[in-house]
Structures are given as C-alpha cells and as structure tokens.
Chain A
Amino acid sequence: MHWQSVLEPQGPQAAHLHWLIVVFFGVCAAVWLLVMLVLLLGLLRRRPAPVPPLPANPASERRAGVIVGSAVGATVLVISALTVLSAVTTHAISADPSDPLLVQIRGHMWWWEITYEGDRPDHAFITANELHVPVGRTIQLELSADDVIHSFWVPNLAGKMDLIPGRDNQLSFSADHAGLYRGQCSQFCGLEHAHMALFVVAEDPAAFERWRASQIAEAAQAATPEQARGRDVFASRQCAACHTIRGTPANGNIGPDLTHVGGRAWVGAGLLPTTRGSLAAWIADPQGVKPGTNMPMVPLGADELKDVSAYLAALK
C-alpha cells in the first residue's frame, strides 16, 4: 500500500495539486526568508543617536518611499499570481472527462456506501468501503451523505470533496499505476470519524472487469452445513433487517451490503482485516471494537456466532 500522502501523487489530478503545493511552498518560503533577512538587517543596523530637530533629508525619504512601494507592489503581484495559479489548477482538475466511469459514494456514520451503475439494471451493484477503479480511466464520483457532512479524501489520487446531506457533489480522478491507496473521511463526523477509512484498489482494466463481474454475481452458495446454518441464522435474526445479501432473503438497506463481504480486505471501514475471527469479533461485540457504531450487539449463541462468521467469511 502507498503512503497516504499528497506528496506522492499517483494520478494526473493529484499531480496538478502536488505541483500547486510545491509552487506555494517555494514562493511562501522565499517570501518568508526575504522578510526574515530584512528584519535581521534592520535589527543589526547601527544608527547614530538622533539630533533634534531631525533634519529633513529628501534623498533618504525618496528611497524609503521606493522601498515600501515596491514591497507593496511585490505582495500584490505574488498574491495575484498564486490566486491565478489556484484558479487554473482548479479548472484543470475539474474539467469534464470524456467517457468516465460513474460511481456513486454515499457517506454514512461511519462507512462508505459505493454504488456502481451498470449498462443494465441487473448489472448495478452496491458495495462498501472499497472502491475498485481501472488504471488510466477517469472516475467520476457523485458524492452524497445520509446523515452528517463527511469528506472524501484519497490524498494520493485527488483533492478533498465534502459529502453533504441534501446536495450532490462531484469529483473526478484517475490512477496512473495499479496499487492500493488509503483514504480517510476528512470532515469530523462524530464518535467514529477516525475509523472511517476507504480503500481505492486501482487495477488494470481486465482485472477490474473480472472484479466487476464477480460483484454483479449473487452471493456464493453455502458450501458446508456450518455455512448453511449461518445463512439461516443471518436471514432469521436481526442481521437481515439492516443488511442485504443478494440471492438470500436478507434485503435490509440500512447497513453495508454484505453480498461479497468475505472478499473485501477490511471489516468496519478499515478497522480490522477481514478474517473469520475478526468477523466474529465484530459481530460478537461491535461496541467493544468500534464504540458508537450503529451496528447493535445482536444476542447470538456461541454456535450461532460460529456459523454466521463461517458463512460471511466464505462470501468472497
């Protein structure tokens, strides 16, 4: 996984922003150094004691006027130039892409709902917390929020954009290289703001199409009696009221879609790596591992917990 950093851009939009950061840093550093230098000269300069009344000296007053005037002029020039650069960069990264991949992201407390449109209604699917994108193609995100303001930020790929309830924002980006990029909600959104991570998986177009086909498919059938019992527990208990597993009676739409939860790398929006054990820990005591999450502690027996975690881990 790449360092989550704006200083390591991995796509054209991030490269634009990186260039802007470098220019701003360079200009501001030069201005700061210059100001410090002048200040130091002023402090060190030895003046003769003033003889009252101070004699008027037209030459030195003219010189002072020229210095102050050119300093003010330079300030206006620098600020204007940086403003123009910002505007040009903003324009460059928000240009309408041709043939973009449309993806909708909806922020929830505290996870990301990701919807891929399909060319047919049955080719659309919903996943969570893991955004797969093909390398080189521009991704156009439509960002919305369910409850409070969140903010989408994957520093290696794009700038920040807020997800605001009642308003749709747009952001486009593309990745130059295959890899795993971490993102994080960057607008404080409540108790578990820190545990609201997002992962962007950039892969070559063929691998992306394979992944998309696997996500369009319904959930894997239960392969063992244990998994079959887990499927029945899931459908008959509180789990199904909030979660969907396509291909089973579970069709709740309050929590993340779990049709392929075993194939995602993380549980709980970047909280725990997906294993059968971490799934069981999450189900057994959600408030213990992510205090405040809206996932309730469902009273399950030990056998039920074993069966459900085996079933979910097998949903690749």
Chain B
Amino acid sequence: MIRPALLALLALAACKREIRDLRTDPPVQAALEGIRLMPNGIGGAPPPVISAQGDPYETNAWQLNQGKQLYTWFNCKGCHADGGGLSGPALTDGWWRYGSDPVTIFSVLHDGRPNGMPAFRDKLTPDQIWQLAGYVRTLGSYSGKTAAPSRNDEIQSRPAESRAPAATPLSMPPSR
C-alpha cells in the first residue's frame, strides 16, 4: 500500500508544465535572423541563440502551435492545402525540394523561392518565421517527436502532426 502511494507521489513530482516563452527579447529577436546559408541556398548553420535557448522551435509544443496558427493565418493553405499540396508542392510526402533542415526552411519562408513561393520577411517577425518553420517540419518529418501542436479544428485530412513519422525519405521526387 505504501509503495504504490510513494511511487505515485514520485511520478507527480515529475510533472512539469511546459514553459511558454511569450516574449522574445529584442537582442534575441535580432540574433534570430543570423543564419549562415550555403551559397546554393540549401543548408547552413542556424544562429547559435537557438541552441542556447534549448531549441524551442523544434521541441516546445506552444511554439509549434503558434506555427500552426500562422500556417492558417498567413494562408499557407492557399497553395499547400492541409500539407497535401495544391498549386504549391506537398509538405507531407517526404520530398523536400530544398532540403528539410530548419535553416533551409527558414530561408525559404524568409526570402521566398522561384516559381511562386513568396518572401515573408516583411510579414512575419524572425521568431514567427522560426515558429512556422518548426511547424512545417513536423508535417513531413521523418521521425516522431514528443512535442506536438494542438489538434485540428477542422476534419483531419492526414495523421496528426508528429504523432508518427509523417514520411520516409524519398530517393526520387514524387511523380506529380
């Protein structure tokens, strides 16, 4: 009787509420734009401030959820639909035209890409772009995560983000 109670008490002590870092300090905000991109625009080094903060845009559910909200608000759905692709490429099929690493996706959102992807640097603040990049990565991620954004308000058209690996790496581009 004593032992289960003690175990339950210990388990309770392990409960920790996730920290929502609501306010990005201005110096951090300025540093968040400092990516070092490879000359071909694919891959590179993220700003050191992200790892110094514990990689929140990949591991913090609140940050991922803010990204999910921005995905709707800034009409990513208009071209990419619910991740399945429309006039823009699909995000859930495991094929990333420019690579799936966070720095590349940040630069795609920040500066845009040819053939229709607009630049969002004048519409989103740097921390918002990182939030959106983190969310977009969960759509077609190759591995599961412990952090997930909240569920859809609409009908699910695909497995919930990060509940399972969304896709396996493709060696060839999808046929469409």
Contacts and interface: CB of A to CB of B under 8 A. Distances in A.
A29 interface: no
A298 B125 contact: yes
B122 A287 contact: no
Interface in B119-152: 122-128
A292 B22 contact: yes
Given A165-B153, A288-B23, A292-B22, A297 B125 contact: yes
A291 B125 contact: no
Contact of A297 (B26, B73, B124): B26
Contacts of B123: 238, 240-241
Nearest to A284: B26
B30 interface: yes
Nearest to A298: B125
B74 A241 contact: yes
A36 B8 CA distance: 45
Contacts of A298: 125
A288 B29 CA distance: 15
B18 to A, nearest CB: 14
A296 interface: yes
B109 to A, nearest CB: 13
B122 A238 contact: yes
Interface residues of B, number: 18
A236 interface: yes
A64 interface: no
Given A165-B153, A254-B73, A241 B26 contact: no
B168 interface: no
B82 to A, nearest CB: 18
Interface in A181-230: none
A315 B128 CA distance: 28
A241 B22 contact: no
A296 B125 contact: yes
A158 B93 CA distance: 52
B122 A237 contact: yes
Contacts of B24: 287, 297
Interface in B27-49: 29-30
A221 B54 CA distance: 47
Contacts of A237: 122
Interface string A252-293: 001000000000000000000000000000000101100110
A118 interface: no
A118 B29 CA distance: 43
A299 interface: yes
A238 B124 contact: yes
A166 B51 CA distance: 40
A110 to B, nearest CB: 13
B127 to A, nearest CB: 7
A242 B126 CA distance: 15
A237 B24 CA distance: 18
A208 to B, nearest CB: 33
Given A238-B124, A240-B123, A292-B22, 14 more contacts: A236-B122, A241-B122, A241-B123, A241-B124, A285-B23, A287-B23, A294-B69, A296-B128, A297-B23, A297-B125, A298-B125, A299-B29, A299-B30, A299-B126
11 contacts: A165-B153, A238-B125, A241-B123, A287-B22, A292-B20, A297-B24, A297-B26, A299-B26, A299-B29, A299-B125, A299-B126
Interface of B: 20, 22-24, 26, 29-30, 69, 73-74, 122-128, 153
Name the 4 nearest CB pairs between A and B, nearest first.
Answer: A241-B123, A287-B23, A296-B125, A254-B73
